[in-house]
C-alpha cells in the first residue's frame, strides 16, 4: 500500500504541483511584474503636459504599468487643480467681474428710480385712504348727529303730548281691536 501511495505521489501529485508552480511563475513574470515594476513605467503610457493628449510608447501589446497610471493620475490632478484655482479664477475676474460691474452701473440707477416710483405710488394710496377715511368719518358724524337730533325731536314731541290724550288713544285702540 505504501508503494501504491508512493507511486501515486510520484506520478500524479508531483507533476501537477510542478505544473502549477510553472504556471504561477509564468503569470507572475508575464502579467504581474510588468504592471507592478517601476522600472518598466517609462516604457508604457505618458501624458504630454502641453497638449493633454495620451501618447503610447512601445508596442501595443504591452499593458500599462501601475506606476505610470499613478503618475498620469497625479499629473491630471495637478492640471485640474491648476484649472480650478488659477484658470477659472482669472476667467471669472476677466469676464464675470466686468459684467457684474456693468450690471451694477446700469441696474442701480434704474432700481433707485423704481423705488422712487413705488414710494410715490404708496404715498398716493395712503393719501387716498386718508381722504376716504376722513370722508366716511364726516358722513358717520353727520349721520350720528342727524339721528341724535331726530331722537331729540321725537323725545320732545313725546314729552309735549298730553298724557290724557295718550290714555284715550290707548283705550280707543284697545276697544277698536276688541270689536273687530
Reported as a single tens digit per residue, the pLDDT across 88-102 is 888 888 888 888 888
Question: Best-predicted range by mean pLDDT among 17-21, 90-94, 141-145?
Answer: 141-145
Query: For the chain, what percent of residues have pLDDT higher than 70?
Result: 69
* Mean pLDDT of the 130-144 span: 93
For 64, counting Cβ atoms within 10 Å of its Cβ (0-12 exposed, 13-18 middle, 19+ buried), the class is middle
Q: Which residues of 111-126 are buried (b: 16+ CB within 10 A; e: fewer)?
A: eeeeeeeeeeeeeeee
Contacts by 65-69 with C-beta closer than 8 Å and gap 24+? 65/34, 65/35, 65/36, 65/37, 65/38, 65/40, 65/41, 66/35, 66/36, 67/36, 67/37, 67/38, 67/41, 68/41, 68/42, 68/44, 69/45
Reported as a single tens digit per residue, the pLDDT across 34-71 is 777 767 655 544 444 444 444 444 444 455 677 778 88
Distance CA 16, CA 9 (A): 10
Distance CA 123, CA 117 (A): 10
Question: Helical H runs in the chain?
Answer: 2-8, 14-27, 33-36, 66-82, 88-91, 97-160, 163-179
Angle at CA of residue 150, ends 157 and 168, nearest 5°: 25
Report domain extents, the chain.
1-36, 37-179
103 vs 79, more confident: 79
Instruction: Give pTM, 2 decimals.
Output: 0.32
Amino acid at each position: 500500500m505504501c508503494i501504491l501511495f508512493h507511486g501515486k505521489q510520484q506520478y500524479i501529485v508531483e507533476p501537477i504541483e510542478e505544473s502549477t508552480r510553472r504556471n504561477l511563475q509564468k503569470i507572475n513574470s508575464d502579467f504581474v511584474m510588468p504592471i507592478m515594476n517601476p522600472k518598466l513605467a517609462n516604457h508604457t503610457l505618458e501624458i504630454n503636459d502641453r497638449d493633454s493628449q495620451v501618447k503610447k510608447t512601445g508596442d501595443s501589446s504591452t499593458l500599462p504599468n501601475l506606476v505610470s497610471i499613478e503618475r498620469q493620475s497625479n499629473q491630471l490632478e495637478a492640471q485640474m487643480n491648476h484649472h480650478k484655482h488659477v484658470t477659472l479664477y482669472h476667467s471669472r475676474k476677466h469676464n464675470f467681474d466686468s459684467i457684474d460691474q456693468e450690471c451694477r452701473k446700469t441696474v442701480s440707477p434704474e432700481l433707485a428710480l423704481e423705488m422712487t416710483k413705488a414710494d410715490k405710488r404708496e404715498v398716493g394710496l395712503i393719501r387716498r385712504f386718508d381722504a376716504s377715511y376722513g370722508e366716511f368719518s364726516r358722513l358717520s358724524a353727520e349721520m350720528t348727529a342727524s339721528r341724535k337730533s331726530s331722537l331729540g325731536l321725537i323725545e320732545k314731541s313725546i314729552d309735549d303730548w298730553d298724557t290724557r290724550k295718550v290714555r284715550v288713544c290707548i283705550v280707543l285702540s284697545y276697544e277698536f281691536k276688541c270689536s273687530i
